[in-house]
Amino acid sequence: MTLTKMIIGATSAIALAGAANAAAHMSGEMTIVSWGGAYSASQQAAYHDPYIANTGIAILNDESSGEAVAKLRAMNEAGNITWDLVDVIAADGMRLCDEGLAMEIDFDSMLAPGADGSTATEDFGETLVSVCYIPQIVFSTTFGYRTDMVPEGAAAPTGACDVFDMDTYPGRRSLEKRPIGNMEWALICDGVAIEDVYDMLETDEGLERAFAKLDTIKDMTIWWTAGAETPQLLADGEIFMGSTYNGRLFSVIAEQNQPIGMAWGNQMLDLDGWIVPTGLPDDRLARVMDYLYFATDTQRLADQAAYISYGPARASSAPLVGNHATLGIPMAPHMPTNPENMDGAFVTNYLWWADYRDEMDAKFQAWLAQ
Amino acid sequence: MALPSYASTGQKIWHYSYLTTCGLIFFFLIFPIMVIIPLAFNAQDFFTFTPEMLRLDPAGYSLKHFDDFFNNPDWYRPLQNSLKIAPVATIVSVSLGTLAAIGLSQSHVPYRRVIMAILISPMIVPLIISAAGMYFFYSSIGLQGTYWGVVLAHAILGIPFVIITVTATLVGFDKSLTRAAANMGAGPVRTFFKVQMPLILPGVISGGLFAFITSFDEVVVVIFVGSVGQKTLPWQMFTGLREQISPTILAAATVLVTISILLLITVELLRRRSERMRGMSQG
Amino acid sequence: MSDASTTGPMRAADGTLLKVSLARALRRQKLRALMLIMPLLAFVLIGFVLPIGQMLMRSVENDIVQDTLPLTIEALQEWDSTSNESPPEAVFTALAIDLQAALESKSHTILGRRLNFEYSGITTLFRKAGRDVEDWNVETDGPFRVRFEEIDEEWIDPTMWRAILAYSGRYTAGYYLAAIDKTMVSGQIENRPKNESLHLMLFGRTAWVSILICFCTLLLGYPIAFLLSNLKARHSNLLLILVLLPFWTSLLVRTSAWKVLLQEQGVINDIMVGIGILADDNRFQMINNKLGVVIAMTHILLPFMILPLYSVMKTIPPTYVRAAKSLGATDWTAFWRVYFPQSIPGIGAGAILVFILSVGYYITPELVGGPTGSFISNRIAYQWSGAGNWGLVGALGAILLVAVLILYWVYDKIVGIDNVKLG
């Protein structure tokens, strides 16, 4: 009898303790979605590893950020959110926010203040383009080329428009299998001023013009879906010139010593950051908030810049950016926002893409398949 | 197929060119699979033969991709997942499938053709449709992204193979044996385990191997029904192939080819054994 | 012994009518068989048939429009859609009310997205409207027609409203129309613009590339099956292993092998450059196009052609050909007029099997096909992971499934489901 009483007593004590802890209980595991390759590796080194060292939780990495919007829509439709934190570009963040799939964030209370004393809102400044979106980095989509495959007597390519020049630079290209960037470059390289590009893309004639320009290189183009593809295609010699995120090119040039050069002209700047999916249970949400507070503070964003050449979104992190973690080279010249790299650079119009992305996707995929 | 001694020159030429053509076609069948094995030992990170390799220079070869495959968590965790999922899925499909196959081979099964059609359907329906449907359904019952969800999905995909092989074995099964056992006083369960099971075992194992390889090699459904915690080896290879990541894929492929050869030998030995037991072959 | 009377019905040993006793035994047998089958049947029905059925239902479900804009759709029924005037004020008032209610759950953007599949531009309209309508007071801020006009002129465009009306029912044929490149935005069924129509093209491409693959596998598989069936068992078993090894090798291994072989800097191009057939800067492109898909899938599906052919050819008695030769037929006549007709069932079985497998393929076209070599399955996957158009996924999937089922029914007629042999 005493044994039974002991068991009942013990289980009720545990149950009560459990109930008391439920509010403070945080999940012991997170699924974080990002872009894979060198970028995910930099996040692992700068954010995940220190956090795991502090808390001992497990972090699972998913590499589906390219399809994040579609997958979150599917999860919402199915009623089962399996992701805890998702890394998306700004336009996708805005789309998700407007569809109620991303949680609204109170920046000043949920994120750490800047190390220089500023509030989170001041520190992030203009990069806060949506109430659901927590920016991490400024990156750009830009072109790389094989330095040893430049034809005799020709100058090395300097920018995006050289990719359309099949006469001077024969050889295969690789472009992103999504309309972002390709549509803008098609028009810019066809002579349209940057300010007019987005207005033109809203018209049928503008679209025709853009697709006609892309048609000139379509047969010679390999279409990539992951950022790691273009560097690998360049290293393998399968292509002469291709677009990808600038940090991936930095990795393949500096860390793998491949004969690749960067053509910064007309680079397309964009923001990349976190969103928290809506509908997370309390324990997972508590864990995500705890992680975000840590992983988006001044030092962490500066640390990430030591592994890959993306600029931190916080103003207070900029002075802390130094040298590469293992190679020791200064990172500043490789940042997309370095004045030397800014020739013809433009910032992608997040709002326009948030509004028109679905439509553009449909037209682009239809054009691609024909 | 021997050439008779009275064959004319024309017939001889035709005969040898025919054999050469067949040889080339066999080469076409085997060469792709065999060529990736040496490539997996490439010391460089390329997908093609380097000059050092062609000269058979030992410096051109290395085990580093195998090292990466077995030590890099990006690869050995999917391998572990595959090894955790496939056997359990096989056991589920073999047990349910054998039972159903025995039921289907009884005399007088109502609606037999309809039932067979339903049970074979997972093999017929294009995978992308099955995967999409299972995604929504499993999400609604909370199995999406879980180990058991993937196991059950793979079990369903393996069932047609078990049904086909076990019914084929049962077709040749002599019913008088069960009657003889009943005659001598054995109950139905005892008869099953002592008389039927040993004779249909080759078919069951054969079906089980098909179900195993179906689950081990499956990628479309697991991408939909699983989440990153259940990432399997084929899924990792698929991602790697799409993104051209590294020749570790070839090391993984070599390991898989070795497994295939072992499975093939097993199936072949089983087939010979069952033929022998039915007195259909001389050996 | 039983009653030996010659009159009256037959009886079993325990006295019951034989007919009844037999019927009872038969019923017991049927029940036993069903009980053995039932667990698996239930498992497959619930775990497979039901999910697919649900998926296909999405191809006609369209509740979202009436659930998000109930008052608007009701008011829209009063409007004369054939006139060239925009809807009356009542519709816009209802729209304002509905939008405000929808803003809370942000379902207006989801609706906008759904309608955008049919009529380009609606996403933007709804998103912009949502941003403004938030601050309106539906009681006092009317009339709303002009206010919507201020947000965007398209709000008073009758063509757009005709589109919304056409897709407002609880069930819609819209997804199936989209799957065959048609639309009914104007109320009538008409073709979609050229730059949006690719489903019929993809169905066609999938079908004819599959036929090509069938033909290639037949061309390569027939000699092999002939050889195997005419050799002594010992030798043919050995050679059969060469056919079965690719069959047992992982699909991804085979596809990665072809990716390695067919690349521009891959093994085959290197060999051809090495021998001198090709110049180094003029390498043959064999990947990311239809050629790569045909080559890789011929290799992958060849065992599926060889095995049925082999099992049929094994049953062809050699006596017929010998008889033909002894009656004076040449080798060719004996083959073509005596042997070949007997192998046609095998050809039929193999061809249909290869065709069924090929049209449903996803992996290989995805990895070696590039945009011009993609199949309908790849498009379905894109609709899932790119556009999020579940209805279209269901419709395309249903069409593909029906096509495959018809082919399978033909296969059953020729070969029989029970006779599917897997070596």
User: Cα–Cα distances in Å, from A260 out to A128, A235, A326?
Assistant: 34, 8, 20
Q: Cβ contact (<8 Å) for B228 and A229?
A: no
B-C CB pairs within 8 A amount to 258
Structural domain includes residue A60: yes
Q: Cβ contact (<8 Å) for A229 and B244?
A: yes
pLDDT of residue B278: 64
The answer to whether residues B15 and B104 belong to one domain is no
For residue B128, give how far its alpha carbon lies from the nearest alpha carbon of chain C (Å). 6
The answer to whether residues C43 and C90 belong to one domain is no
Identify which of B220, B116, B238 has the alpha carbon closest to the alpha carbon of residue C360: B220
Write out the residue range of the structural domain in which residue B148 sits.
72-245
- Number of compact structural domains in chain C: 3
Please check whether residue B228 touches A, CB under 8 A: yes
Tokens of A335: 């940042």
The answer to whether residues A363 and A264 belong to one domain is yes
The answer to whether residues A190 and A110 belong to one domain is no
Tokens of A31: 């699924």
User: What are the tens digits of pLDDT across the range C189-200?
Assistant: 888 887 778 899
Residue A126 exposure: Cα atoms within 13 Å on the Cβ side: 4
Structural domain includes residue B258: no
Residue A238 has its nearest CB partner, among C201, C264, C382, at C264
The answer to whether residues C276 and C259 belong to one domain is yes
Structural domain includes residue B250: no
Residues of chain C positioned with their CB less than 8 A from the CB of B191 = none
CATH code for the domain in which residue A251 is found: 3.40.190.10
Please check whether residue C370 touches A, CB under 8 A: yes
The answer to whether residues A61 and A42 belong to one domain is yes
Alpha carbon distance A75, B148 (integer Å): 19
Task: Compare all CA atoms of chain A with the CA of C196 and give the residue at the minimum distance.
Answer: A366
Domain boundary among C193, C227, C243: C193
Whether A306 and A314 have beta carbons less than 8 Å apart is answered as: no
User: What is the distance between the terminal CA atoms of chain C, rounded to a whole angstrom?
Assistant: 52
The answer to whether residues B156 and B42 belong to one domain is no
Task: Compare all CA atoms of chain C with the CA of A239 and give the residue at the minimum distance.
Answer: C264
Residue B229: count of CB within 10 angstroms of its CB: 17
Structural domain includes residue B257: no
Domain boundary among C132, C162, C193: C193
The answer to whether residues C67 and C53 belong to one domain is no
Task: Compare all CA atoms of chain C with the CA of B131 and give the residue at the minimum distance.
Answer: C52
Whether C72 and C80 have beta carbons less than 8 Å apart is answered as: no
Helices (H), A56-193: 68-78, 90-98, 107-110, 120-124, 182-188
Alpha carbon distance C246, C292 (integer Å): 18
User: Cα–Cα distances in Å, from B117 out to B58, B120, B235, C359?
Assistant: 56, 5, 29, 20
Q: Cβ contact (<8 Å) for A80 and B45?
A: no
Predicted confidence (pLDDT) at residue A6 exceeds the cutoff of 60: no
pLDDT of residue A20: 41
Structural domain includes residue B269: no
Mean pLDDT of chain A: 87
Whether C113 and A99 have beta carbons less than 8 Å apart is answered as: yes
Write out the residue range of the structural domain in which residue A223 sits.
141-269+331-369
Q: What average pLDDT does the segment A204-212 reach? A: 92
User: What are the tens digits of pLDDT across the range A20-76?
Assistant: 444 458 888 999 999 988 899 899 999 999 999 999 999 999 988 988 998 899 888
The answer to whether residues C176 and C203 belong to one domain is no
Alpha carbon distance C289, C365 (integer Å): 9
Q: Cβ contact (<8 Å) for B219 and C252?
A: yes
The answer to whether residues C215 and C363 belong to one domain is yes
The answer to whether residues C288 and C140 belong to one domain is no
Please check whether residue A351 touches C, CB under 8 A: no
CATH code for the domain in which residue B156 is found: 1.10.3720.10
User: What are the tens digits of pLDDT across the range A68-112?
Assistant: 998 899 888 888 899 999 999 999 999 899 888 999 999 999 998
The answer to whether residues B167 and B229 belong to one domain is yes
For residue A310, give how far its alpha carbon lies from the nearest alpha carbon of chain C (Å). 27
User: Cα–Cα distances in Å, from B98 out to B153, B165, B206, B213?
Assistant: 18, 9, 11, 17
- In the predicted model, residues of chain B with pLDDT beneath 50 are 281-283
User: What are the tens digits of pLDDT across the range C376-387?
Assistant: 999 998 888 887
Q: Could you identify the residue written with the tokens 């336009």?
A: A91
The answer to whether residues A161 and A201 belong to one domain is yes
Q: Could you identify the residue written with the tokens 């893409």?
A: A353
Q: Give the gyration radius of chain C's Cα atoms.
A: 32
Residues of chain B positioned with their CB less than 8 A from the CB of C244 = 264, 267-268
Q: Is B22 strand, coil or helix? A: helix
Structural domain includes residue A247: yes
Identify which of A196, A269, A250, B253 has the alpha carbon closest to the alpha carbon of residue C252: B253
Q: Cβ contact (<8 Å) for B48 and C270?
A: yes
Predicted confidence (pLDDT) at residue A3 exceeds the cutoff of 70: no
Residue B87's Cα: distance from chain center in Å? 12
Beta-sheet strands, E only, within chain A: 29-33, 58-62, 85-89, 134-146, 173-176, 221-224, 241-245, 260-275, 311-312, 346-347
The answer to whether residues A300 and A313 belong to one domain is yes
Please check whether residue A329 touches C, CB under 8 A: no
Structural domain includes residue A15: no
The answer to whether residues B197 and B234 belong to one domain is yes
The answer to whether residues B92 and B127 belong to one domain is yes
Whether A291 and A154 have beta carbons less than 8 Å apart is answered as: no
Q: Cβ contact (<8 Å) for C252 and B234?
A: yes
pLDDT of residue B84: 94
Q: What average pLDDT does the segment A227-247 reach? A: 89
Phi, psi at residue B231, to the nearest 5°?
-60, 125
For residue C83, give how far its alpha carbon lies from the nearest alpha carbon of chain A (Å). 26
User: What is Dmax (Cα atoms) for chain A?
Assistant: 96
The answer to whether residues C276 and C183 belong to one domain is no
Please check whether residue B243 touches A, CB under 8 A: yes
Whether C147 and C135 have beta carbons less than 8 Å apart is answered as: no
The answer to whether residues A175 and A57 belong to one domain is no
Please check whether residue B50 touches A, CB under 8 A: no
The answer to whether residues B52 and B166 belong to one domain is no
- Number of compact structural domains in chain B: 2
- Number of compact structural domains in chain A: 2
Alpha carbon distance A283, B37 (integer Å): 48
Alpha carbon distance C84, C262 (integer Å): 57
Residue B145 has its nearest CB partner, among A77, A82, A232, at A82
| Residues in C 369-408 with any Cβ partner in B closer than 8 A | 377, 380-381, 384, 393-394, 397, 400-401, 404-405, 408
User: Which pLDDT band holds residue C301 (cuts at 50, 70, 90)?
Assistant: very high
- CA C72-C69-C132 angle, 5° bins: 90
Sequence-distant (≥ 6) Cβ neighbours of residue C271 within 8 angstroms? none
Report the relative pairing of strands A241-245 and A134-146 from DSSP bridges: antiparallel
Residue C40 has its nearest CB partner, among B36, B99, B210, at B99
Sequence-distant (≥ 6) Cβ neighbours of residue A300 within 8 angstroms? A46, A47, A50, A294
Structural domain includes residue B253: no
The answer to whether residues B164 and B216 belong to one domain is yes
pLDDT of residue A13: 46
Q: Is C219 strand, coil or helix? A: helix
For residue C34, give how far its alpha carbon lies from the nearest alpha carbon of chain B (Å). 7
Q: Which chains touch C (3+ CB pairs under 8 A)?
A: A, B
Q: Which helix (H) or strand (E) holds A353?
A: helix A350-369
Identify which of A286, A240, A287 has the alpha carbon closest to the alpha carbon of residue A259: A240
Tokens of A148: 């040893």
* Higher pLDDT among residues A290 and C130, named by residue: A290
Structural domain includes residue B172: yes
Write out the DSSP string of B74-138: HHHHHHHHHHHHHHHHHHHHHHHHHHHHHHHTSS--TTHHHHHHHHHHHHHS-HHHHHHHHHHHH
Whether B121 and C48 have beta carbons less than 8 Å apart is answered as: yes
Residue A183: count of CB within 10 angstroms of its CB: 25
Residue type, C367: L
The answer to whether residues B149 and B51 belong to one domain is no
The answer to whether residues A360 and A229 belong to one domain is yes
Q: Cβ contact (<8 Å) for A236 and C379?
A: no
Write out the residue range of the structural domain in which residue C121 sits.
63-193
For residue A131, give how far its alpha carbon lies from the nearest alpha carbon of chain C (Å). 14
Q: Cβ contact (<8 Å) for C245 and B260?
A: yes
User: What are the tens digits of pLDDT across the range C321-373?
Assistant: 999 989 998 888 999 999 999 888 888 888 988 998 899 899 999 989 888 88
Q: Could you identify the residue written with the tokens 């941003």?
A: C131
Mutate to test the interface with C, among B8, B39, B48 (most CBs of C within 10 A): B48
Residues of chain B positioned with their CB less than 8 A from the CB of A74 = 135
Alpha carbon distance A298, A120 (integer Å): 10
pLDDT of residue A12: 47
Please check whether residue B73 touches A, CB under 8 A: no
The answer to whether residues B47 and B86 belong to one domain is no
Q: Cβ contact (<8 Å) for A223 and C370?
A: yes
Residues of chain A positioned with their CB less than 8 A from the CB of B229 = 31, 60
Residues of chain A positioned with their CB less than 8 A from the CB of B243 = 36-37, 225-226, 228-229, 232
Predicted confidence (pLDDT) at residue C248 exceeds the cutoff of 60: yes
pLDDT of residue C224: 93
Residues of chain A positioned with their CB less than 8 A from the CB of C388 = 69-70, 73-74
Predicted TM-score of the model (pTM) = 0.86
The answer to whether residues A342 and A221 belong to one domain is yes
pLDDT of residue A18: 43
The answer to whether residues C97 and C233 belong to one domain is no
Q: Cβ contact (<8 Å) for C260 and B103?
A: no
Q: Is C11 strand, coil or helix? A: strand
Residue type, B211: A
Q: Cβ contact (<8 Å) for C370 and A172?
A: no
Q: Cβ contact (<8 Å) for B140 and A78?
A: yes
pLDDT of residue C52: 92
Please check whether residue C382 touches A, CB under 8 A: yes
For the ranges A227-236, C277-286, C398-407, the maximum mean pLDDT occurs at C398-407
Q: Is A12 strand, coil or helix? A: helix
Domain boundary among C193, C225, C240: C193
Report the relative pairing of strands A241-245 and C182-183 from DSSP bridges: unpaired
Domain boundary among A320, A340, A360: A320
pLDDT of residue B244: 65
Residue A233 has its nearest CB partner, among B139, B227, B244, at B244
User: What are the tens digits of pLDDT across the range A286-332?
Assistant: 999 999 999 998 999 999 999 989 999 988 888 888 888 888 888 88
The answer to whether residues C74 and C181 belong to one domain is yes
User: Which pLDDT band holds residue C152 (cuts at 50, 70, 90)?
Assistant: confident
Task: Compare all CA atoms of chain C with the CA of B110 and give the residue at the minimum distance.
Answer: C30
Q: Cβ contact (<8 Å) for B36 and C260?
A: yes
Structural domain includes residue B255: no
Alpha carbon distance B201, B273 (integer Å): 10
Q: What is the sign of the dihedral through the CA atoms of A248, A250, A255 and A256? A: positive
Mean pLDDT of chain C: 86
Structural domain includes residue B148: yes
Identify which of C109, C301, C126, C162 has the alpha carbon closest to the alpha carbon of residue C220: C301
The answer to whether residues B230 and B202 belong to one domain is yes
Q: Which chains touch A (3+ CB pairs under 8 A)?
A: B, C
The answer to whether residues C375 and C232 belong to one domain is yes
The answer to whether residues A233 and A355 belong to one domain is yes
The answer to whether residues C182 and C259 belong to one domain is no
